[in-house]
Amino acid sequence: MKRATVALGMIAVLVGRVSAQDTSPIVSEGVVEASVEAVWTAWTANDALRAWLAPHAEIDLRLGGLMRTNYNPQGALGDAQTIENTILSFEPGRMISIRVAKFPDGFPFPNAVGEMWTAIYFETAGQGRTRVRIGGLGFRADEESQRMRAFFDRGNAATLRHLQHHFSPESR
């Protein structure tokens, strides 16, 4: 009976009735035209966050501290559109990891987001250049988590592009 069940499951996958779900981490990686110190500051200082990430942003850089952002120019920190991330760990100038503690009203993945977390790595990529690697982890095989995985895959890539643009010579 067990072999028959396994065989039927394999046939279902082959004919497309069941699809494999990707629970692997998502990764966005690129080089930023600035020193590690400048890029680290861009992620971890209040004024610097507001200069490139969101019009309303603040970070309490300590274990258990919050990184709060609101992307709505007419919004305010603490309103219904504020995103709060808890700082899970950090090594100054090298890495910070965060997990969503509060998502904005209307966020389409309320059940899946509690399992996910993000790690951001910084390393020298030559004189005045920094390699940034944003990794999203904690995805499940269910449909909501898979949709969220695709959402954050696009979002993390866009965040990295925005950071690169912030430090590009034409934006200085």
Q: Which tens digit of pLDDT belongs to each residue from 34-44?
A: 999 999 999 99
Residue 4 lies in a domain: no
Residue 69 lies in a domain: yes
**pLDDT reported for residue 88:** 98
Residue 9 lies in a domain: no
Domains identified in the chain, total number: 1
Domain that holds residue 112: 24-171
Task: At 154, give phi and psi (nearest 5°).
Answer: -70, -45
Which residues face 121 on adjacent strands? 95, 133
Residue 147 lies in a domain: yes
Residue 156 lies in a domain: yes
Please give the Cα distance from 48 to 59 (Å, whole number).
Answer: 10
**CATH number of the domain that residue 112 is part of:** 3.30.530.20
Residues in the chain: 172
* Successive 10-residue mean pLDDT values, the chain, 172 residues: 41 42 95 98 98 98 98 97 98 98 96 96 97 97 96 97 94 74
Task: At 127, give phi and psi (nearest 5°).
Answer: -55, 115
Please give the Cα distance from 166 to 57 (Å, whole number).
Answer: 16
Residue 13 lies in a domain: no
Please give the Cα distance from 68 to 81 (Å, whole number).
Answer: 10
Residue 65 lies in a domain: yes
**pLDDT reported for residue 13:** 39
Please give the Cα distance from 97 to 89 (Å, whole number).
Answer: 5
